Chains A and B, each alone.
Chain A
Amino acid sequence: MKRGYFGDFGGQFVPELLMPPLLELEEAMGRILKSAEFQQEYTSLLKNFVGRPTALTHCQNLSRELGFNLWLKREDLAHTGAHKINNTVGQALLTKMMGKPKMLAETGAGQHGVATATAAALLDLECDIYMGAIDVKRQSHNVRRMELFGAKCIPVHSGTQTLKDAINAAMRVWIANQRTTHYCFGTAAGAHPFPLLVREFQSVIGREAKQQFKERTGEMPYMVVACVGGGSNAIGMFHEFVNEKSVKIVGVEAAGTGEPGCTNSAPINLGTPGVLHGMNTLLLQSDDGQILPSHSIAAGLDYPGVGPEHVHLHATGRAEFGMVNDSQAINAFQMLCQKEGILPALESSHAVAWVIENKDTIPKDANVIVNLSGRGDKDMDILDDYLAQHGK
């Protein structure tokens, strides 16, 4: 009877009032996603609107320095500047084919909000975005972008006023508006079927990377690496490689400022099992089961939970999950700018930082593909603040 498990993790821990729309969504996925009409339309939008396939870049200069071959899957080149658009275009098309006129979404840093507003504008859907009041202030630029696309951005004043509370607010509004509205969830987490739905739309990343790499080298990569917030860009990269047993898989969590006991965003490394936002997963929580605030310099990684499939990949040993702190991420950010002329998002910088910090464990001349999940234009203010505070 239970649905949507990856080993012991996942499930559907939602109010009964949300079961009908979740069941409706599961049914619609089964009916619509495989249809020729959907596939044709989606493939065409990915090519002609999103700009896929995105490039696979061999980092000449850094590779020489690191002693192995560093390749970047360039999701920063996708429309709106991050992988998020793969998911929102897919869900917007699904919303349309389900006959619903409206989407709602949560957003933390604002990247998923912008990507949802973009897809809604393209497909003529109404769009409401819920965003923690603190995030609205620190990401005002993205709020403005959403509004330009015709979406309404609604500040959430409850709880910690960040991403987790924006998800709570969006779930509440979905209960009341389920008949007309699709909840366009932003990452491979939450209640079933969202982890599967988001993986379906993001797995294009790994499929392209595998094919591009094969065309260029005739081989399989030694390792694939991605940062993990909720887990969508990571599962998008990993999914195609899970059954390629020779390929090592590494997810990178945000360790926050990095000292022992600091506020972090690393539930796989530092959390305990529990239930939040519809899923049984690993969480940052107190002994009493209250959810703790998270922190990362990368706003998009700032979440106290994680998608259940990653917890399963961790539990089975198929993937390894490392941690990178704020200053290591900033270092990788600057290195990529200076040596390769690429401005990465702070989220993606965590993945790059992991291979830099662990370069001695990677064999000479091995091929490592890092998913560069987004571009860093959005992070300039945060970078400047950080550098000013740390006297650089």
Chain B
Amino acid sequence: MSITTLADKINDANAKGRTALIPFLPGGYPNKESFWKEILELDANGADIIEIGMPFSDPVADGPVVEAASMKCLADGVNLKWIIEGLAKVRSQINAGIVLMGYYNPVLQYGLEKFAKDANGAGINGLIIADLPYEEGLEFRDLLAANEVALVPLVGLNTEPERMKLYADGGNGFCYFVSVLGTTGDRDSLPEEIKVGLKHAKDIFDIPVALGFGLKHPSQLEQLEGLVDAAVFGSALIRHIDDGKSCAEFMKVWT
């Protein structure tokens, strides 16, 4: 394992002429029993990186679909320990890179040093923390990097190039570009100004750029050729699973 695993996964997909695919599923969704089966199915059906949500009681960056799914997982007793220990058991069967996504407080209570060590032990390649901006995250980024885990920077439509440069300097994994000024949740169209922001990100970051928040269909990416190295989709996948359909079927549309 290495700190470049996530970038390597995306670059490999791009070298084969396709956008890398990053499905998101909250840890323990739709239930604790079938969750790992879903993850293996995503892996077998074209996921380059899989994002596992760490449920939190107060998810300010998430829309209603992800929030409701996270609340169900919390009610079922999912916690960080369950996710990390479960992952350690199945990691050798998963080809994709693994990223955990969530909020700072559960990680803080788990213990930052212990988290960095256990994440490495469980084969976690990266971490996305929705409420840890550059200023607050610098020390943790170093701690994670020392354990071969990337702290993935999040930027968006209102991030000026100057701030992107702060994140880019020493940033690892991939750059997660948030497609809308808003929360997670699928939307029919993406804002026009997105191209300007993506161009800045592509110029400023050495690592690949992934687009997320609001993706529900590959056709949304057609206008953005050359600007997006990877696509993240969460709410659309959760809705699909809620409709009783399989992950394999969902991935088919994208591969």
Q: Which A residues are within 8 Å of any B CB, using their own CB?
A: 1-3, 11-17, 19-20, 158-159, 164-165, 168, 171-172, 175-176, 178, 274-278, 283, 285, 287-291
B162 CB to nearest A CB, Å:
11
Separation of A274 and B112 alpha carbons in the complex (Å):
12
Do A19 and B163 have beta carbons less than 8 Å apart? yes
A-B pairs with beta carbons under 8 Å apart, 9 shown: A2-B136, A14-B133, A16-B154, A159-B57, A171-B60, A175-B182, A175-B183, A275-B131, A285-B105
A273 to B138, CA, bound (A): 20
Within residues 28 to 65 of chain B, which ones have a CB less than 8 A from any CB in chain A?
A: 56-61, 63-64
Cα A175 to Cα B163 in complex, Å, equals 17
Shortest beta-carbon distance, B154 to chain A, in Å?
5
Is the CB–CB distance between B60 and A158 below 8 Å? no
Are B178 and A289 in contact, with the CB atoms below 8 A?
Answer: no
Determine whether the beta carbon of A159 is less than 8 Å from that of B108. no
With A16-B154, A159-B57 known to touch, is A288 a contact of B183 (CB < 8 Å)? Answer: no
In the complex, which of the residues A16, A158, A278 contacts B134, with contact meaning CB atoms closer than 8 Å? A16
Cβ of B71 under 8 Å from chain A: yes
Q: Specify the main secondary structure of chain A where it touches its partner.
A: mixed
Verify if B95 is at the interface (C-beta below 8 Å from A): no
Instruction: Assess whether B67 is in contact with A158, with CB atoms less than 8 Å apart.
Output: yes
Min C-beta distance of A6 to chain B, whole Å: 15
Interface string of B71-107 (1 = CB under 8 A from A): 1001000011000000000000000000000001111
Q: Interface residues, chain B, CB within 8 Å of chain A?
A: 56-61, 63-64, 67, 71, 74, 79-80, 104-110, 130-136, 138, 153-160, 163, 178, 180-183
Is B57 in contact with A275, judged by CB distance below 8 angstroms? no
CB pair A172 B105 closer than 8 Å: no
CA distance A3 to B133 in the complex (A): 12
Q: Contacting B74 at CB < 8 Å: which of A17, A285, A290?
A: A290
Chain B residues within an 8 Å CB radius of A2: 135-136
**Contact, CB under 8 Å: B163 / A172:** no
Given A2-B135, A171-B60, A176:B182 Cβ within 8 A: yes
A14-B134 Cα distance, complex, nearest whole Å: 10
For B80, B108, B131, B181, the residue with the greatest tally of chain A CB atoms inside 10 Å of its CB is B131
Contact B109 A287 (CB under 8 A): yes
Q: Which residue of B lies closest to A292 (CB)?
A: B57
Q: Say whether B60 contacts A15, CB under 8 Å.
A: yes
Q: Which residues of A contact B180 (CB under 8 A)?
A: 176
Q: Is the CB of B110 within 8 A of A289?
A: yes
- Contacting residues, chain A, for B57 (C-beta < 8 A): 159, 290-291
Instruction: Give the residues in chain A near B155, CB-CB below 8 Å.
Output: 16
Report the bound CA distance from A11 to B106 in whole Å: 17
Chain B residues with CB under 8 Å of A285's CB are 105, 109
Inter-chain contacts of A288 with B (CB < 8 A):
79-80, 106, 109-110
Indicate if the CB atoms of B109 and A158 lie closer than 8 Å. Answer: no
Contact of B71 among A17, A159, A168 (CB under 8 A): A159
Name the residue among A165, A175, A288, A290 with the largest chain B CB count within 10 angstroms.
A288
Please pick, from A14, A168, A274, the residue contacting B105 in the complex, using a CB distance under 8 A: A274
The answer to whether B58 touches A289, judged by C-beta atoms less than 8 angstroms apart, is: no
Question: For the complex, what is the distance from the CA of A288 to the CA of B78, rounded to whole Å?
Answer: 10
Whether the pair A12, B133 counts as a contact (CB closer than 8 A) is yes
Given A14-B131, A175-B181, A289-B106, are A168 and B59 also a contact pair (CB < 8 Å)? yes
Q: Give Cα A284 to B15, complex, Å.
A: 49
Given A13-B131, A19-B133: A172 and B60 interface contact (C-beta under 8 Å): yes
B109: A residues at CB distance < 8 A: 274, 285, 287-289
Give the docked Cα–Cα distance between A202 and B52 (Å).
43
* Contact call A17/B135, Cβ cutoff below 8 A: no
- Which residues of chain A are near B158, meaning CB under 8 Å? 17, 20, 178
Closest to A14 in B: B131
Is the beta-carbon distance between A1 and B138 smaller than 8 angstroms?
yes
Residue numbers in A under 8 Å from B153 (CB-CB): 16
Chain A residues, Cβ within 8 Å of B183: 172, 175-176
- Cβ A172 vs Cβ B156 within 8 A: no
CB of B56 within 8 A of CB of A290, answer: yes
B181 & A278 in contact (Cβ 8 Å cutoff): no
**Contact of A176 with B58 in the complex, beta carbons under 8 Å:** no
B160 touches A13 (CB 8 A): no
Least distance between B88 CB and chain A CB atoms (Å): 18
What is the CB-to-nearest-CB distance from B17 to chain A, in angstroms, rounded to a whole number? 31
A17 / chain B contacts, CB cutoff of 8 Å: 61, 156-159, 178, 181
The 4 closest A-B pairs by CB, nearest first: A289-B109, A289-B106, A289-B105, A176-B182
A276 to B158, CA, bound (A): 23
Q: B82 CB to closest chain A CB, in angstroms?
A: 10
Complex Cα spacing A165 to B132, Å: 20
Give the distance in Å from the alpha carbon of A276 to the alpha carbon of B180 in the complex: 23
B154 x A15 contact (CB < 8 A): yes
Q: Measured between alpha carbons, how far is A158 from B58 in the docked complex, in Å?
A: 9
A334 to B81, CA, bound (A): 49
